[in-house]
Structure 1
Amino acid sequence: MSSSTVASSDAPADPKQHRRVLEALSGLLLGMFVSMLASTVVSTSLPTIIHDLDGNQTAFTWVVTATLLTTAISTPVWGKLADLTNRKLLFQLAIAIFIIATAAAGFSQTPEMLITFRAVQGIGAGGLAALSQVIMADIISPRERGRYMGLFGAVMAVATIGGPLLGGVIADTWGWRWNFFVALPVAILALIIVQSTLHLPKRTPGKTSIDYLGIVLLSIAVSLLLIWVSLAGDSFEWWSLTTVLMVGGAVVATALFIVVELRSKEPLIPLNLFKNLTFTLSVVASIATGIAMFGASVFLSQYMQLARGATPTEAGLMTIPMIGGLLVASIGVGALVTRFGRWKPYLIVGALLLIGGSYLLSTIHYDTNFVLVSIYMAMLGAGVGMTMQNLVLVVQNTTEPSRIGVASSGVTFFRSLGGTIGVSVMGAALAARVTDLVAERKDDIGVAIASLGADAPKWVEALQSGALPKVAEMPDALRTVFEGIYANGISHSFLIAVPFAVISLLAIVFLPNKPLTRMTTSERIQASEADLATVSVPEGMEVLAATGSIPTVGDAREDSDPR
């Protein structure tokens, strides 16, 4: 690489380059929009969906957890493939998988069918999440990426704000199944735009080798842990033979996974990445961010509908403060990172907001002033917006160019894993808390039912079915009792996120504060090759190289030998 090329890499991008980047990102942004829209459009109607499919709180949690689980497990696989083969083709494949699974989910007849299709949907979502980060590193330098991260933040905000609102209106007007079908035309358009606008630098293809045994062991370890968390205390006792077998199996599978990764030529998650302090601390911080992000999106929707009697449409409107905080923080901080090149102060502030938002949401009740609830949600959203993308950014900034795929997907994997475990633990805590509170308030429920007269048998049957209740449709006397129960249970579950947010802050504080480079991944690879060529060609031979008469390395060494 010439000196002029390097110099250009260190200077801010010109308007033409900016336009080319925007064209390349258009399909990428639309693909991410589809992924997020298909998830958020369902969020507000999920309590209604589970009610109509006769599912319980465990089914509600697993509809979300199944997607997060397969997203987490598939993310490092997509990342590994990104280092070995065509990244554009992989991104299109991820969109296709997502489209098919989303359409199939709309035809679900039971909670089990919905959980299955959502799991397949997560495989596509894992590809979109991992590959978007890798492709961005191909075409945008870490220093310049902040301004474009703002675009991703805007897309995320539009999908996250518009999705629940659109989903609520659709569920209330045409039925919840159309929530799954609405994203299909946009997804097809995304495929077409990616094909026509995304042009990546040519890369030397690697030899594709997938660590299948590692995938199986990782899936077993994570699945056993999540199933145990979801069912313990309900289907079996916390201290029981089943617990020993499931937890023991998860530990054994994890140990075997580590052994396999250490011996594999192409490990799913190269464990020597953890020698990089930035990667290790970013992983720890990402786990807490995942718990806050996914936990809030799942349980705030439940809070609005089950604790405040909101309809799906109203629940979408009521969660806008959290998304507003995420939008402002993501776009604003992205612009500041690009302008000044400083990232660590924003991550620290973000971690503090995660702690504050999680703790304050653990104090809410069914009648808490909604202005206060909005402030708490905005704090949590801002914390997620400041930390989520920037943790990937600092890892990409310090990782070898040839390992950008596995490093980026590694951070995304642990964020998804944190979210998966967080949602499972919070869901299990919520279910257990609700069961205890229903038992404690048995007399209040009895008095409320007795006041219903002829409608009493109908509500007794509905409550005994075990299905997730539709609180907004309950009579006032019964609704007041259950709003208090669910508010208490949901706020209690938010307390679980607080210690993880504290750990995230500690990890961020100790992150090495390295400046951001202006070189893209492709330019870094070319620079490395140029450096290698410079080492191989003796000083003073550049003129001969230009005329095509350069001797071999062996000849050069022989001519310069003083003996």
Structure 2
Amino acid sequence: MGDLTRAERRSLHIGVFGLLLGMFLAMLDGLIVGTALPTIAGDLGGLDRLPWVVTAYMLAAAATTPLWGKLGDLFGRKAVFVTAIVLFLAGSVLCGLARDMTQLIAFRAVQGLGAGGLMVGALAIIGVLIPPRDSGRIQSMIGVIMPIAYVGGPLLGGLLTDHMSWRWTFYVNVPVGAVALLLIAARIHPPPAPRGRPRIDYAGAALLTASIVALTLLAGWAGTAHPWTSPQILGLGAAGVLGVAWFVAVERRAAEPIIPPRLFADRDFTVVQTLGFLVGAAMLTVTNYLPQYFQFVQGASPAAAGMLLLPLMFGMLGAQLLTGRLISADGRYRRYPILGGALMTAGVLALLQLGTDTPAPVASALTLLIGAGIGLLMQSSTLITMNSADPRDMGAANGTLMLFRTIGGSLGIALLGSLYAARMAADLTARLGPSTAAHLTEGGVLTPALLPTLPAETIDAVRSAVTDGLHLILYGTLVLALLTFAASWLIREVPLRTTLPPSAPEPDSSPTGR
């Protein structure tokens, strides 16, 4: 960015802020809804389907993330990014209007379709406008919006739920999205899309979507809705594995593959996609189920539950900001994912100390370590991905990283969330009997606001069941953290680029491709 005038740099920074607001929508929605989930379940019923409020969103985002990235490479990144924001806002309004759990889950899927293009679209545009070595300096701008999302998201979600309605956790996206659209339209001017007729990989898109849906349904239904050895689960497993294998074969032959196989020739790129999958599963699961512990066990309101997550959010924020600046200073990055994996493991071990009698300030403080570990891993993996890709593949590369993170989050929420719901139901049944347990989980009685009005025996049973369910989730998260730490040692140190390399030649649009 050194050859730009001061006015041009200022204009670019304003435009990048608009891009980051688009990213902010995805960040905000993933965090603001968490503190509202118990109230949503109480209002609409269907506690057993509550994980799907998150899973439907994550599933749709996962299936479309690489598609948005590739569409941006082919048709123009700015136009595709704006389209994703508009679709996301439409889904947000529909979620706020939902009248039952089925509608909410369906509308969350619509919202997820747009969300799939938010993070990847912003990162792809930044990747072609700013060199990787300088992109760490953009963290100073991310520092403007990330505190609002990471710290203010859970708090705002709690305040809106307490004083207005959980529906406003979706409506609040609209004004933010409108500002983002205005800034991007006026200030962002990325390189034009390649000339010629784009060649869309329809077969790859269909196979990728089918594989993601099959694997996510398997994770959500196995052991709960259907036994692990049932025809439904075995069929989903076979469909998922065969779909992935077929997808890989199709991508090797496609003229414009959604996920270019050449990206995985770079070892660091391959490793950080694995890290993205593992970290996505850990982050989404923990941030969506800790608020339930704080509300049901600690007796916190939705707003207070958001406040109790501040150490986790500050840890994540501080680690991302510091990592970006340190990497920009010397161009070295290998140490940060290793340290992130170690801190994430230590953080999960700390959270396993949570119990029904843990003081709320102690429980809140114990979230700091895992937040710092996640922040280190997310920031370093993003910079490594951008450094590993050619400009022609910037959208596909960032889309692949977002895909792996989103799939990890989707599968983590579906699998661990199902185990959480099953453990809660089993504990409540054992202590209170089948009819009372069913009344609590399906009858709209089990909400943080109504819990104090229930008999003391029921309150104790609920607090114990929620804690046991959280511990089960944390044991699964510990496995993810250990795998993350082990994989991070495979990263090699490659100097970050200090300039933007020339774009690859435009693809030939002739029928033969030659």
Instruction: Give the equivalent residue in structure 2 for 1:45.
Output: 36
Check if 1:250 corresponds to 2:240: yes
Match of 1:297 among 269, 287, 291: 287
Bigger drift between 372-381 and 76-85 goes to: 372-381
Matches within 5 A, 1:373-384: 373-384=363-374
Check if 1:516 corresponds to 2:506: no
Measured after TM superposition, the shift of residue 489 of structure 1 is 0.7
Equivalent residue letter for 2:22:
G
Please say if residues 153 and 331 of structure 1, whose CA atoms lie closer than 8 Å, have aligned partners that are also in contact. yes
Instruction: Give the equivalent residue in structure 2 for 1:503.
Output: 483
Equivalent residue letter for 1:225:
L
Please say if residues 284 and 503 of structure 1, whose CA atoms lie closer than 8 Å, have aligned partners that are also in contact. no
Equivalent residue letter for 2:446:
P
Please say if residues 402 and 525 of structure 1, whose CA atoms lie closer than 8 Å, have aligned partners that are also in contact. no
Bigger drift between 166-175 and 89-98 goes to: 166-175
Counterpart of 2:33 in 1: which secondary structure?
helix
Instruction: Give the equivalent residue in structure 1 for 2:508.
Output: none
Please say if residues 268 and 492 of structure 2, whose CA atoms lie closer than 8 Å, have aligned partners that are also in contact. yes
Instruction: Give the equivalent residue in structure 1 for 2:447.
Output: 470
Q: Distance in 1 between matches of 2:366 and 2:76?
A: 43
Please say if residues 342 and 373 of structure 2, whose CA atoms lie closer than 8 Å, have aligned partners that are also in contact. yes
Q: Distance in 2 between matches of 1:498 and 1:464?
A: 27
Instruction: Give the equivalent residue in structure 2 for 1:74.
Output: 64
Instruction: Give the equivalent residue in structure 2 for 1:223.
Output: 213
Change (3 A) 1:363 1:14: farther
Counterpart of 1:161 in 2: which secondary structure?
helix
TM-score relative to the length of structure 1: 0.84
Change (3 A) 1:138 1:272: closer
Please say if residues 310 and 472 of structure 1, whose CA atoms lie closer than 8 Å, have aligned partners that are also in contact. no
Counterpart of 1:441 in 2: which secondary structure?
helix
Check if 1:483 corresponds to 2:463: yes
Please say if residues 169 and 312 of structure 1, whose CA atoms lie closer than 8 Å, have aligned partners that are also in contact. yes
Instruction: Give the equivalent residue in structure 2 for 1:412.
Output: 402
Equivalent residue letter for 2:47:
N
Measured after TM superposition, the shift of residue 462 of structure 1 is 3.4
Check if 1:365 corresponds to 2:360: no
Q: Distance in 1 between matches of 2:32 and 2:269?
A: 33
Change (3 A) 1:493 1:468: farther
Measured after TM superposition, the shift of residue 464 of structure 1 is 6.7
Q: Distance in 1 between matches of 2:18 and 2:470?
A: 38
Instruction: Give the equivalent residue in structure 2 for 1:108.
Output: 98
Instruction: Give the equivalent residue in structure 2 for 1:532.
Output: none
Measured after TM superposition, the shift of residue 439 of structure 1 is 3.3
Equivalent residue letter for 2:113:
I
Please say if residues 283 and 414 of structure 1, whose CA atoms lie closer than 8 Å, have aligned partners that are also in contact. yes
Q: Distance in 2 between matches of 1:418 and 1:168?
A: 26
Please say if residues 85 and 206 of structure 1, whose CA atoms lie closer than 8 Å, have aligned partners that are also in contact. no
TM-score relative to the length of structure 2: 0.92
Measured after TM superposition, the shift of residue 471 of structure 1 is 4.0
Match of 1:391 among 363, 368, 381: 381
Matches within 5 A, 1:31-430: 31-57=22-48, 59-202=49-192, 204-205=194-195, 207-430=197-420
Structure 1 residue ranges without an equivalent (≥5): 1-8, 447-456, 530-563
Bigger drift between 131-140 and 222-231 goes to: 222-231
Match of 1:23 among 1, 14, 26: 14
Q: CA RMSD in A?
A: 2.3
Change (3 A) 1:154 1:338: same
Check if 1:493 corresponds to 2:484: no
Change (3 A) 1:460 1:263: closer
Q: Distance in 2 between matches of 1:483 and 1:463?
A: 13
Q: Distance in 2 between matches of 1:272 and 1:202?
A: 23
Please say if residues 12 and 188 of structure 2, whose CA atoms lie closer than 8 Å, have aligned partners that are also in contact. no
Please say if residues 129 and 412 of structure 1, whose CA atoms lie closer than 8 Å, have aligned partners that are also in contact. yes
Q: Distance in 1 between matches of 2:35 and 2:103?
A: 19
Change (3 A) 1:206 1:486: farther
Equivalent residue letter for 1:147:
R
Please say if residues 279 and 395 of structure 1, whose CA atoms lie closer than 8 Å, have aligned partners that are also in contact. yes
Please say if residues 211 and 264 of structure 1, whose CA atoms lie closer than 8 Å, have aligned partners that are also in contact. yes
Structure 2 residue ranges without an equivalent (≥5): 506-514
Please say if residues 64 and 209 of structure 2, whose CA atoms lie closer than 8 Å, have aligned partners that are also in contact. no
Measured after TM superposition, the shift of residue 205 of structure 1 is 3.5
Bigger drift between 305-314 and 285-294 goes to: 305-314
> How many residues end up aligned between the 2 structures?
502
Q: Distance in 2 between matches of 1:63 and 1:323?
A: 22
Task: Render the CA deviation track for 1:374-397: whole Å, top value 9, x for unaligned.
Answer: 333111111111111321211221
Measured after TM superposition, the shift of residue 495 of structure 1 is 1.3
Q: Distance in 2 between matches of 1:375 and 1:172?
A: 24
Bigger drift between 339-348 and 17-26 goes to: 17-26
Equivalent residue letter for 1:245:
G
Q: Distance in 2 between matches of 1:203 and 1:212?
A: 19
Identity among equivalent pairs (%): 33
Counterpart of 1:45 in 2: which secondary structure?
helix
Counterpart of 2:116 in 1: which secondary structure?
helix
Counterpart of 1:495 in 2: which secondary structure?
helix
Q: Distance in 2 between matches of 1:277 and 1:509?
A: 12
Measured after TM superposition, the shift of residue 137 of structure 1 is 0.9
Please say if residues 150 and 330 of structure 1, whose CA atoms lie closer than 8 Å, have aligned partners that are also in contact. no
Please say if residues 433 and 489 of structure 1, whose CA atoms lie closer than 8 Å, have aligned partners that are also in contact. yes
Counterpart of 2:466 in 1: which secondary structure?
helix
Task: Render the CA deviation track for 1:350-384: whole Å, top value 9, x for unaligned.
Answer: 11111111232233212223343233311111111
Change (3 A) 1:468 1:237: farther
Instruction: Give the equivalent residue in structure 1 for 2:511.
Output: none
Measured after TM superposition, the shift of residue 460 of structure 1 is 7.5
Measured after TM superposition, the shift of residue 206 of structure 1 is 5.5
Q: Distance in 2 between matches of 1:323 and 1:14?
A: 36
Equivalent residue letter for 2:384:
V
